[in-house]
Amino acid sequence: MPMHFTDRPHDLTVGVLGGMGPLATADFFTALVRRTPADKDWNHLHIVIDNNPRIPSRTRAILFDEAPPTPYLIDGARRLEAAGAQLIVVPCNSASYFLDDVRAAVATPILDPVMATSRAVRERGVVRPLVLGGMVTHRANLYGRALAGDGIDVVRPTDAEQDQVAAAIEALKSKDASRALVERVGELVRAGAARGADGVILGCTEFGLIADRLDTMLPVFNSNDLLAARTLELARTDTSSC
């Protein structure tokens, strides 16, 4: 009989449906490993990553009616399930828009950053968070819908500001995490604060790459890091509240 070299044999195996984009997936994996209290390698979580950057653009599917990512997301979720994943996480806010059909296609619970971040916003008591996210997150008002009924009224960027948000996300995908880019995002945060925002949701996982460099007094909700925190919590308990 094989021996199990771990003090945590009941932790769930986590499947990461990634590649949207690859840097955000890598940042999520790093955040999850760093958050895990483990004194030995074998006490970390078993994590299976499907990093598929060939998944069609979530943004182009919405803006230009191009190929939807849903079939690819379903295929990825099924691969992770077949690989033994007991909890699937998706480090992409925009992908959250398409996950209803994916959840219906697999038996494994799926956690997304909108769920994890909205939970943290409620717990913190923030009532007017500024949401900085991609075009899908913005146009579908994913956070406004997720937080509806909780007395929380999200602050949305203006059309001109949203263009700047989208440009910042594309720059981060291109590995530009320069001081100038951080300052441009900081200006967007200050504009939201001037309109009454009492917190800021970094509603694109790429923003996790610069979250700790933003100069603001507002509480910052880094959706990638919060997804990692919630993943760890669920993987070391159960998925009943996922």
Would you say 95 and 59 are in contact if contact means Cβ atoms under 8 Å apart? no
Question: Is the dihedral angle over the CA atoms 185, 190, 194, 196 positive or is it negative?
Answer: positive
**Burial degree of 35 (CB within 10 A; 0-12, 13-18, 19+):** middle
Residue 1 has pLDDT above 80, yes or no: no
In whole angstroms, give the CA distance from residue 129 to residue 137: 14
Q: What is the pLDDT of residues 193-226, one digit of tens each?
A: 999 999 999 999 999 999 999 999 999 999 999 9
First CA to last CA across the chain, in angstroms? 34
Q: What is the pLDDT of residues 69-80, one digit of tens each?
A: 999 999 999 999
Would you say 150 and 119 are in contact if contact means Cβ atoms under 8 Å apart? no
* pTM greater than 0.75 (yes/no): yes
Question: Which of the residues 62, 172, 204, 234 is marked catalytic?
Answer: 204
Residue 3 has pLDDT above 60, yes or no: no
In whole angstroms, give the CA distance from residue 119 to residue 201: 12
Go through the domains of the chain in sequence order and give each one's CATH number: 14-112+226-235 (3.40.50.1860), 114-223 (3.40.50.1860)
Alpha carbon 9 to its chain centroid, in Å, reads 27
Residue 236 has pLDDT above 50, yes or no: yes
The reply to whether 204 belongs to the active site is: yes
Residue 2 has pLDDT above 60, yes or no: no
Question: Which of the residues 92, 115, 142, 227 is marked catalytic?
Answer: 92
Of 21 and 1, more confident: 21
Would you say 238 and 87 are in contact if contact means Cβ atoms under 8 Å apart? no
What pLDDT is recorded for position 20? 97
Partners of 133 in the β-ladder = 203
